[in-house]
Amino acid sequence: MKKRSLLLSFVCLLAAMQVVIAQDDVVTSTASTDDPGYPLYQTGFYAGLRGGYLLKNKSLWDNPLYHLGNGMFAEVNGGWRKNAFGWELAVGMLNIKRNHPEMNRFTATAEEVLRGMGNSGQFKNALDSGQAKNDYFTFPESTQQVSAVKDFKGYYALTGPRLWFGRQKLQGSVYAQGGISMNRFGYYYLKGNGASPDRYTYSYNNTLVSSAPVNEVAIGSPTVGTATANVEGNYEKYGMTSAFYDAYKADGSANPADIKEKNKMQFLARGGASLEFFFSPKVSLSAGVDYWYIPSPEMKGQATSTGTVSGSISLYKTDAASERDLRYSDKYTFTQPYMEKKNLGFLSASLGVKIWMGKKRPVPVNDPPVIVPAQPAADKNLAVKVIDKPTGKPLDGVNIRIEKEGDESVIETMTREDGSIPLQRALAAGNYKITGIKNGIKTTEAAVAVTDFSAPPATIYRELIHNDIRFTLAGKTINKADMEPIPFIQTSLTNVTRGSAEQKTSDSIGRFYYQLDQRTDYNVIAQNKGYFSNREKVTTKGLNRSEVIYVNLALEVMELKKDASIVLKDIYYDYNKWDIRPDAAAVLDNLVKTLEENPTVKIELSSHTDSRGGDAFNMTLSRKRAESAVRYLVSRGIAADRLKAKGYGESRLLNDCGNDVPCSEEQHQLNRRTEIKVLE
């Protein structure tokens, strides 16, 4: 569906271009009679070469009947065109790869193997409870006896109409073609014999076993223990056309590669759209997208395995019979037919070249130019837009200055989010200079001449270019308590590479801006009395200035009032240790500065662990880490009576990752934290 949507979008683009191209035709109709047009011929012929890449169709790639991946095609083509209508013939070669990893290994589901046993009742409870649902027996490569793969290969001849749009250097076309192809569909085949290294343990039903070990004591409960399951046997899987399967079986050969697959004639259809660029009236280069359709022949495919399931039994109840090693062995048969037949559909991207020839188009005779009398000067509107040169996007926040020659008054304004200034209405005729500046970098200049006020349009348009290769950090100070913007907070930006710093204060709605060099790391913090923030890391490494202007940051700020709390970011400890590392010291230094600027504030510094490890151990470890952090603050001059160390262990988890609950490392990391809480 995504591929069809891409093709439809490309066709819509061509339709939109038709309007633009048509407008260009109107303009060029009054051009010089030397303009030859593209192509040069009113009725023309062309010959060309084209090749392309077929994208992988996931449904055919994953379907075990086919396992077809990506491919390539190459063709020669020729056609006829008269104005917008044309007809084309193409002859070429098509190759589609088979390289799915599942073709080269055999895997049997444990559930199907157990169900295929002669006496599957001994694992009835295990099957009913789904114990074997997600287990697989995989046979290693060393057990393979035959492995053969052949790609899809075909030769085709297609013909059909092509519709053209435009007469200038850049034109578009859409087409539909049908025809025949001679194909060798290809196949894959895998056969082997051996044992799987996989071993699983399941519930064991002793009372249902018909071949119980000799002298075994019967036990009343249906599930009396567990049994291991090991698999050894023959296996085979394949996907191929029914015609080739019949030929292979009739020949009796052990390896299908010894049999030559016959070509088969099939219907083939293709449709698509392309852009055509004329280097000259006689030579053009095309780029396009195509959709291929090939009906699938009758297919044959399955995975099958026969062999022995064996293992040892461990009983729950101990008695004379269970004290010795109990063994079992049973035959199994496993077959999984491949039934989902699909027609072949592929999306491709292509490039081609054409040589044009034919009867020349008559040169138009232009009427003599019409002399339009000059209009008297009148007041005009002025629209100005600023573009960021690296990205080509509109740029907001640019200070614009409009100066009129001979007039001391100046218009000053600023660009909005769409890069434009408010429309300047009814400007008196005259000569104007337009300039702009942002972040200390000037834009290009633009001029409006008095003669522009005599031209027909009621609005004069000008565009300025701003070329600043730096990124812009667009930050906002946010109150941690309610996540609302908080105004007039002093912030500090530190260049980690150079060690330099600069400060700015957020505006009335919490916004602040800094300019960032390329490929550089920064730290940003709030430095305002009565407030605290974490040190936030910002980097421009990996960013492309031709794609990105702004780096956004929400800087959370905590007001230092009773019961307010915040997690200190980037405080890490070595495994099972509580020493303050240099990276954690840098974070605590930021806290030291805040406590120095707010000498009446007292805080609790607490440490928390995740649920892994013993509860008592975690409580002790967190206490020692909190005490270690407090000792560091005291060593930096903070009075001990202003600090309280508290270890909570795993008693205050932020999620449901308690004891024995399976969780990801990221979920556990959320619980491993250091917090500060304002006591007074």
pLDDT tens figures, 103-118? 999 999 999 999 999 8
pLDDT at site 363: 54
pLDDT at site 374: 58
* Phi/psi at 347 (5° precision): -100, 140
Instruction: Evaluate if residue 300 carries a pLDDT over 50.
Output: yes
pLDDT at site 148: 93
3-15: average pLDDT? 48
Query: What band does 213 get if pLDDT is binned at 50, 70 and 90?
Result: very low
Query: What band does 665 get if pLDDT is binned at 50, 70 and 90?
Result: confident
510-522: average pLDDT? 94
pLDDT at site 274: 94
Instruction: Evaluate if residue 31 carries a pLDDT over 80.
Output: no
pLDDT at site 89: 96
Percent of the chain with pLDDT over 70: 87
Amino acid in the structure at residue 2:
K
Rounded CA-CA distance 569/586 in Å is 11
Instruction: Evaluate if residue 318 carries a pLDDT over 80.
Output: no
Query: What band does 368 get if pLDDT is binned at 50, 70 and 90?
Result: low
Amino acid in the structure at residue 122:
Q
Mind listing the pLDDT tens digit for each residue in 122-146? 888 888 888 888 899 999 999 999 9
pLDDT at site 222: 66
Topology alike, domains 380-462 and 471-559:
yes
* Phi/psi at 396 (5° precision): -95, 170
**Token pair for residue 344?**
């072949």
* Phi/psi at 484 (5° precision): -100, 150
Instruction: Evaluate if residue 287 carries a pLDDT over 80.
Output: yes
pLDDT at site 127: 87
271-277: average pLDDT? 93
457-485: average pLDDT? 93
Query: Is the Cα torsion angle 309, 310, 312, 315 positive or negative in sign?
Result: positive
pLDDT at site 280: 85
Mind listing the pLDDT tens digit for each residue in 337-366? 998 899 999 999 999 999 988 766 555 555
CB-based burial label for 359 (10 Å; 0-12, 13-18, 19+): exposed
Instruction: Evaluate if residue 24 carries a pLDDT over 60.
Output: no
Give me the architecture of the 380-462 domain, per CATH: Sandwich (2.60)
Q: Coil, helix or strand for 167?
A: coil
CB atoms within 10 A of CB 521: 14
Task: List the beta bridge partners of residue 78.
Answer: 47, 89
Mean pLDDT computed over every residue of the chain: 86
584-593: average pLDDT? 91
Mind listing the pLDDT tens digit for each residue in 543-555? 999 888 899 999 9
Amino acid in the structure at residue 328:
Y
Query: What band does 64 get if pLDDT is binned at 50, 70 and 90?
Result: very high
**Token pair for residue 301?**
């495919």
pLDDT at site 42: 60
pLDDT at site 28: 35
Rounded CA-CA distance 178/88 in Å is 11
CA-to-CA separations, 14 to 49, 169, 172, 221, 288, in angstroms, rounded? 22, 14, 6, 74, 11
The most confident of 42-51, 78-87, 394-403, 405-414, by mean pLDDT? 394-403
Higher pLDDT, 133 or 87: 87
Q: How many CA atoms lie within 13 A of 62 on its CB side?
A: 2
CA angle (534 as vertex; 533, 537 as ends), nearest 5: 130
pLDDT at site 1: 47
Q: Coil, helix or strand for 482?
A: coil
Rounded CA-CA distance 623/674 in Å is 11
pLDDT at site 36: 53
Domain ranges of the chain: 2-113+135-196+242-302+340-360, 380-462, 471-559, 565-678
Q: Which range is least confidently modeled, 122-136, 293-307, 526-540?
A: 122-136
Q: In the chain, what's the furthest Cα-to-Cα distance?
A: 121
Mind listing the pLDDT tens digit for each residue in 372-407? 565 677 788 999 999 999 999 999 999 999 999 988
Query: What band does 620 get if pLDDT is binned at 50, 70 and 90?
Result: very high
Instruction: Evaluate if residue 265 carries a pLDDT over 60.
Output: yes
Written in H, E and C, the secondary structure of 251-295 is HCCCCHHHCCCCCEEEEEEEEEEEEEEEEECCEEEEEEEEEEEEC
CB-based burial label for 151 (10 Å; 0-12, 13-18, 19+): middle
pLDDT at site 372: 58
pLDDT at site 344: 93
Percent of the chain with pLDDT over 90: 64
Fold of 2-113+135-196+242-302+340-360: Porin (2.40.160)
pLDDT at site 18: 44
Rounded CA-CA distance 293/472 in Å is 49
**CA-CA-CA-CA torsion for 315, 318, 323, 329, nearest 10 degrees?**
-20
Query: What band does 327 get if pLDDT is binned at 50, 70 and 90?
Result: confident
Mind listing the pLDDT tens digit for each residue in 597-614? 999 999 999 999 999 889
Instruction: Evaluate if residue 495 carries a pLDDT over 50.
Output: yes
Mind listing the pLDDT tens digit for each residue in 628-657? 999 999 999 999 999 999 999 999 999 999
517-530: average pLDDT? 92
* Phi/psi at 620 (5° precision): -65, -45
Mind listing the pLDDT tens digit for each residue in 143-166? 999 999 999 999 999 999 999 888
Task: List the beta bridge partners of residue 50.
Answer: 75, 352
pLDDT at site 279: 86
pLDDT at site 219: 39
Mind listing the pLDDT tens digit for each residue in 411-426? 999 999 999 999 999 8
CATH no. for 565-678? 3.30.1330.60
**CATH number assigned to the domain with residue range 471-559, chosen from the 4 options 3.40.1280.30, 3.30.70.2740, 2.60.40.420, 2.60.40.10:** 2.60.40.10
pLDDT at site 455: 81
Higher pLDDT, 573 or 395: 395
Higher pLDDT, 238 or 227: 238
CB atoms within 10 A of CB 624: 17
